[in-house]
Amino acid sequence: MNAASAPTAPAGFTEDAAESHVSHAERQHEKYERLIAQAKSIPPIPTAVAWPCEAHALEGPVGAAREKIIKPLLVGSEARIRAVAKDAGLDLAGCDIIDVPTEELAAACAVSLVRDGKAHSIMKGSLHTDVLMRAVVSKDGGLRTNRRISHVFLIDVPTYPEVLFVTDAAINIFPDIDCKRDIVQNAIDLHIGLGLGEPRVAILSAVEVINTKIPGTTDAAILCKMADRGQIKGGVLDGPLAMDNAINVEAAKIKGITSPVAGRAQILVVPDLEAGNMLAKNLIFLADADAAGIVLGAAVPVILTSRADSVRTRLASTAVGAIYAHYLVQQKEQAARKA
């Protein structure tokens, strides 16, 4: 569905809401708190935590277990995990430990736990992301699906009324149109799976008109037509849109853009990794935003956290993974009943 055939913006999203400026204190973590509360309303999700052998990597799952968001399966050196917990004053009650000696084996074991049905999500510990993702995408025993793997930042910007999804800013460097289709679909499915409804998706470029010298504009037009033809489902797409007219109603009016997406975007699809990474970090460091992160397209969500993340951001990432994992399990069960 493209902008021309899409329904109008949902009730409750007004221009005043889009353009309102409330204090940072009033908006800080507001959207994340809603996600965390939602995650607490479902049963704790069994989550394989790969190599939580440093304090920052162990605090997240232990805190999420205390909040009854996940049931951690800690995969790594048991001696190191217990030593880190003791030094950091962390209570491991309710956490199962699976003792393996190396990062590589921890990643492989986490994937095996998912394949065996013992875990419904994976969380990165203190191992390198590429070690974990190699196990996830392995052709032999990994968690591949027919989708391309992609990453979504869920960014809580204090001055914007909704969580902004930015994708892909971490995995696909120069995605082609087929890869972008999967990037868009992964993000749409996440938005729906979190209970946020049909999303308004802005395909970003430097300008809002098609210019054959700017590949991002032609890719945007193709993606919108793919949505028209049912090759992308569940979202309202428009593009190309520049950043200003994607998120600011007045900027869209000035440019004469009539669209249910312009000025009210919920998902921002960037042309390449560099653009996405710069956009996300600009929001984090210049707009006081927080950014939770999750990897999609595998059989289960992969929760990525950074040692630089705040405790609340780590908890938000875990909550997103838990809610979406619960949604995927429900979808799988429904499909099995219909079969």
CATH, residue 272:
3.40.718.10
Q: Which residues of 314-325 are buried (b: 16+ CB within 10 A; e: fewer)?
A: bbbbbbbbbbbb
pLDDT value of position 11:
38
pLDDT value of position 305:
84
Query: How far apart are alpha carbons 277 and 295 in whole angstroms?
Result: 15
Last residue of a domain, one of 263, 278, 297: 297
Clarify whether residues 113 and 240 are in a common domain: no
Clarify whether residues 221 and 241 are in a common domain: yes
What does the pLDDT profile of the chain (339 residues) look like in tens digits? 444 444 333 333 344 433 443 444 444 668 999 999 999 999 999 999 999 999 999 999 999 999 999 999 999 999 999 999 999 999 999 899 999 999 999 999 999 999 999 999 999 999 999 999 999 999 989 999 999 999 999 999 999 999 999 999 999 999 999 999 999 999 999 999 999 999 999 999 999 999 999 999 999 999 999 999 999 999 999 999 999 999 999 999 999 999 999 999 999 999 999 999 999 999 999 999 999 999 999 999 999 988 778 888 899 999 999 999 999 999 999 999 988
Question: What is the residue whose two structure tokens read 């991002």?
Answer: 216
pLDDT value of position 15:
40
Helix (H) or strand (E) holding 99: strand 96-99
Expressed as residue numbers, the domain containing 187 is 1-41+146-297
Residue pair 166/147 in contact (Cβ under 8 Å)? The answer is no
Clarify whether residues 169 and 260 are in a common domain: yes
Clarify whether residues 160 and 243 are in a common domain: yes
Clarify whether residues 64 and 208 are in a common domain: no
Clarify whether residues 12 and 114 are in a common domain: no
Clarify whether residues 155 and 57 are in a common domain: no
The DSSP call for residue 237 is E
Q: In sequence order, what are the residues at sequence separation of 6 or more whose Cβ sits closer than 8 angstroms to the Cβ of residue 135?
A: 104, 107, 108, 110, 111, 142
pLDDT value of position 236:
98
pLDDT value of position 29:
65
Clarify whether residues 168 and 303 are in a common domain: no
- Please give the angle made by the CA atoms of 259, 263 and 268, to the nearest 5 degrees: 95
Clarify whether residues 286 and 319 are in a common domain: no
pLDDT value of position 30:
83
Question: 50 pairs with which residues across the strands?
Answer: 75, 124
How many domains in the chain?
A: 2
Clarify whether residues 1 and 74 are in a common domain: no
Clarify whether residues 172 and 216 are in a common domain: yes
Clarify whether residues 323 and 250 are in a common domain: no
C-alpha to C-alpha distances, 260 to 7, 200, 267, nearest whole angstrom = 7, 7, 13
pLDDT value of position 170:
93
